[in-house]
Chain A
Amino acid sequence: MPLALASKLRFGSPAVRPDEELIAEVLAGQTAAYAELASRYRDKVERLCRRFFADSEIVRDLAQESFIRAFTKLSTFRAEMPFGAWLRAVVTNVCYDELRRRQRRPEDLVADFSAPEYTWAQLVSEATPEEIVSAAEQRQEAVDLAHRLLDSLRPDDKTVMILKEAENLSVAEIAQILGWSEAKVKIRAFRARQLMRKRAEQILNTRRRRAVR
């Protein structure tokens, strides 16, 4: 046995308790166990919320709301499903509800970029693929413009887009999470892709029009 592995076995951190065990404790009234459960999934929950919203405050509130909703619905959790998948459905629905509450007019969202966003759009339009990827890693405006683009979609379309593209879920899985038919998910996904492309072209063409002026 390699030395590193042996030392890890001897002095390593205590065994990780399975989610199901913690859930059982919470349901039995030991609510402190939920803190451990929440700490395991906090980063993933916040990351998913950040796909839906750019604002840090909103992300924090939604992550918290998701954990509270998950806590109150914990008795409906069934062990045959991984807790992470169940929690993702909860988070998705919290974010989807928030999207619908905050619904805005798409045309307001694609127009009027900030100066850094405009610069980023210009770079995307003209730089090489390698340069675009490298630049995107350092630029907050790349994230801002991507959010602006996604915000121009309807809540249904945006949610499907995030689950399909970012979470890499199948049509069947999305249908299950959102309670829709698979046909509806397919239609929404198709429509979302078309709209995204249209809006993206709009952004790139806006840059061109401005450049001509």
Chain B
Amino acid sequence: MNCFEARQAFVAFWQRTMPLEHRAAFGTHLQFCQRCNRSFRVFALSAPVLHSNADSMAGTPPRSRVIVLPLRAPREGDSPSFARRSWWALSAAGAMAAAVLAAYVMAARPSSAYVLERTITGDDSGIELTSFTTGGELFEPDTAAQDSNHLILQETPLTPRDDFAG
């Protein structure tokens, strides 16, 4: 076995898919080739994640196996993660309701600062708007999700080679 063949065989050796006689040759080569030996050790540090073929290698399985499904059929314009966003929407609605209530109270009982400002400017059109500025960031778009949305919409067929493709 030469160096090229040995390096090609790292994965098969790790996954124990290599025939016994090849394993012996592989072991012998690594014993006498310092560069391949070192490369194998470097490979072995990442192999438990990159080349594991058994689920048990990856640690304890997730505790819950419940899949939460939306209760309606998907539509074209659906957000990529509307479950998460709906939670944000509820929070945002709550914050907005609180802001509206605060604005209402302020409008009903004007403070001295409010009266002073109104006296100076003669215009109170901006007063209510200031009550809503704190909730603005809740509605910022999820940029990371948007970046990758187009990736899901690929229409050209892939040619999968492993079992993930079913």
Cβ contact within 8 Å between B166 and A41 = yes
Q: Is A171 an interface residue (CB 8 A)?
A: no
State which of A81, A150, A179 has its C-beta within 8 Å of the C-beta of B49.
Answer: A150
Q: Residue A68 at the B interface, CB < 8 A?
A: yes
The residue of chain B having its C-beta at the shortest distance from the C-beta of A76 within the complex is B153
Instruction: Give the contacting residue for B45; candidates A128, A129, A145; CB below 8 A.
Output: A145
A73 touches B163 (CB 8 A): no
Report yes or no: A173 in contact with B159, Cβ–Cβ below 8 A. Answer: yes
Number of interface residues of B (CB under 8 A): 68
Stretch at the interface among B60-68, B89-97, B112-120, B129-137: B60-68
Q: In chain B between 40 and 73, which residues have their CB closer than 8 angstroms to a CB of chain A?
A: 40-42, 44-52, 54-55, 57-65, 67-73
B166: A residues at CB distance < 8 A: 19, 40-41, 82-84
One of A43, A100, A204 near B55 (C-beta < 8 A): A43
Q: A93-B152, A161-B50 are in contact. Are A143 and B57 (CB under 8 A)?
A: yes
A-B CB contact pairs (8 Å), 25 listed: A19-B166, A26-B73, A31-B72, A31-B73, A35-B69, A48-B164, A56-B60, A60-B62, A65-B84, A69-B152, A71-B69, A72-B82, A75-B75, A78-B155, A78-B157, A80-B155, A84-B160, A96-B148, A129-B13, A136-B47, A136-B57, A143-B49, A173-B159, A196-B42, A200-B42
| Chain B contacts to A: CB under 8 angstroms | 13-14, 16, 23, 26-27, 30, 40-42, 44-52, 54-55, 57-65, 67-76, 78-84, 144-145, 147-148, 150-166
